[in-house]
Amino acid sequence: MTIDTLHIGDRVYAPWRNERLFPARVTFLANGTAYVSYDDGETDRLPRRKLQPSNKVFIIESVSRRPTEKFWSEGRLLGEFLRMIGGRALYSFIRTKLELRHFLKQARLSSGRHIHLSMHGLRRKLVLQLEEVDVDEIIEMAGDLTGKIVFSSSCLTGQDSFAKAFVKGTHAQAFISPRREIRWADAALVSQLFYKKLFCDGVSPYVAYRFVLKMYSQHADLRFFRS
């Protein structure tokens, strides 16, 4: 779905009176105007250009080797899953800080709200295929992520030293990530559960997070941070 191909019933993110974006559903379309119903029951009439697709995820991944048909990674698997449920996945495999900077900029400028980071993590660091990058560098690379929802499947990025600094520095609306080490298979499962609840069931990011935590807390100590 793009904003130019909206249909009645589509899930979108729409601005409320303070211009902050909230989940909504399109109820009527007329020329360049969309009527939306927010999840809390409120309704509004808005220009189509102010709406953002709710099912678009910008995936940035860096693992030990590039995924292939014989080597599946969490990020690539997530991309295929999103396409299966009608979502849009923009997948990028990176190796260096320079590539991370480039694709974080693309994600920041993207019309979608969701950024998914799939790579190894250390305390206050992400581990790329060829380099390590600390949280202060990541904040500088990412820039202003106001309104963006960032899901990191990287180990330890849910610890306060990384997550709180990231949210404060980028102004991301929400940051979801594991506090402890997480196995590849568990990371793949929880990310798919999260986006399934978000896009198929039409719930908010926090409700999707709470669902995953309830279903899978034994294997994935996820935490939710908001600006």
CATH number of this structure's domain 3-52: 2.30.30.140
Question: Percent of the chain scored above 90 by pLDDT?
Answer: 51
Is the model more confident about 9 or about 160? 160
Q: How confident is the model at residue 116 (pLDDT cuts 50, 70, 90)?
A: very high
Domain ranges of the chain: 3-52, 56-226
Question: Percent of the chain scored above 70 by pLDDT?
Answer: 92
Q: Which of 32-46, 91-105, 148-162 has the lowest mean pLDDT?
A: 32-46
CATH number of this structure's domain 56-226: 3.40.50.1460
Question: How many Cα atoms sit within 13 Å of 67 on the Cβ side?
Answer: 19
Q: How confident is the model at residue 1 (pLDDT cuts 50, 70, 90)?
A: very low
Specify the residue for token string 């211009």: 19
Q: Tell me how far apart the alpha carbons of residues 179 and 74 are, in angstroms, rounded to a whole number.
A: 18
Q: Which of 39, 36, 81, 35 is nearest to 202 (CA)?
A: 39
Q: Residues 126-179: pLDDT tens digits?
A: 999 999 999 999 999 999 999 899 999 999 999 999 999 999 999 999 999 999
pLDDT at 6 over 80: no
pLDDT of residue 202: 75
Q: Which of 20-29, 42-51, 172-181 has the lowest mean pLDDT?
A: 20-29
List helix spans (H) across 64-115. Answer: 74-84, 97-109
Q: DSSP readout, 13-65? A: EEE-TTS-EEEEEEEEEETTEEEEEETTS-EEEEEGGG-EESSEEEEEEE-SS
